[in-house]
Amino acid sequence: MELIHRKNHRLKNFDYGSCGYYFITICTLNKGNTLCVPDAIFTPTEIGKKVVDSFNKIAVLNENVEIQKFVLMPNHIHAIIIIKNTELVEIKEKKYDFEITERRGRRSLQGFIKDFKSVTTRYYKKVYETKLSLWQESFYDEIIKNQEHYNNVWRYIDENPVKWKEDCNYTP
């Protein structure tokens, strides 16, 4: 059996935890239409609702992250994520009669996505009683370079549901 080797498309020596705007796409395993029904309003399935909720929690749990744009499609999601000030912050807490120091604030784009995929896949496996993953390996990302690029990505995300049948991820 020949294994598929994915090409690493990320920039060498680029810090994906640095401040910036990122366009991401995450596809379901085998591009299965599990996230929403491709009707007039793209009604989320049960797992689709969990995906939306979990994705929105990325910004709640990480104060240096903002979700600027998001769309749920039948077999993938698109988003614009902004990583803001990424200074390390030491948090000291008194628990169990001793002090715990935790460092927060310096997580990478890959770290956020890994956590998101892990939470949603665990839920998916439990609810649908399967051993399969919800997501394909890895995800696609682009560093948004300027305002024109940002506007194009925003428009692409906005128009994606309308152009679903033309989308490269379309499966009937």
Predicted confidence (pLDDT) per residue in 39-54, tens digit = 888 999 999 999 999 9
The per-residue pLDDT for 40 is 80
Split at pLDDT 50, 70, 90, the class of 166 is confident
Residue 111 belongs to a domain: yes
CA–CA distances in Å: residue 20 to residues 2, 23, 52, 81, 165 = 38, 10, 22, 8, 31
Residue 153 belongs to a domain: yes
| Domain count within the chain | 1
CA dist 119 and 113 (Å) reads: 10
Residue 68 and residue 22 in contact, taking contact as beta carbons nearer than 8 Å: no
The per-residue pLDDT for 107 is 74
Residue 5 belongs to a domain: no
Look over the chain and give the mean of its residue pLDDT values, rounded to a whole number: 83
Residue 120 belongs to a domain: yes
Residue 157 belongs to a domain: yes
Give 86: exposed, middle or buried? Use CB within 10 Å, 0-12, 13-18, 19+. middle
Residue 119 and residue 52 in contact, taking contact as beta carbons nearer than 8 Å: no
Q: Both tokens of residue 12?
A: 């060498």
Helix axes 46-61, 109-127, angle to 10 degrees: 150
Residue 47 and residue 35 in contact, taking contact as beta carbons nearer than 8 Å: yes
Q: Which residue has the higher pLDDT, 146 or 111?
A: 146
Residue 15 belongs to a domain: no
Residue 65 belongs to a domain: yes
- Supply the range of the domain harboring residue 51: 20-165
Residue 129 belongs to a domain: yes
Q: Which residue has the higher pLDDT, 48 or 166?
A: 48
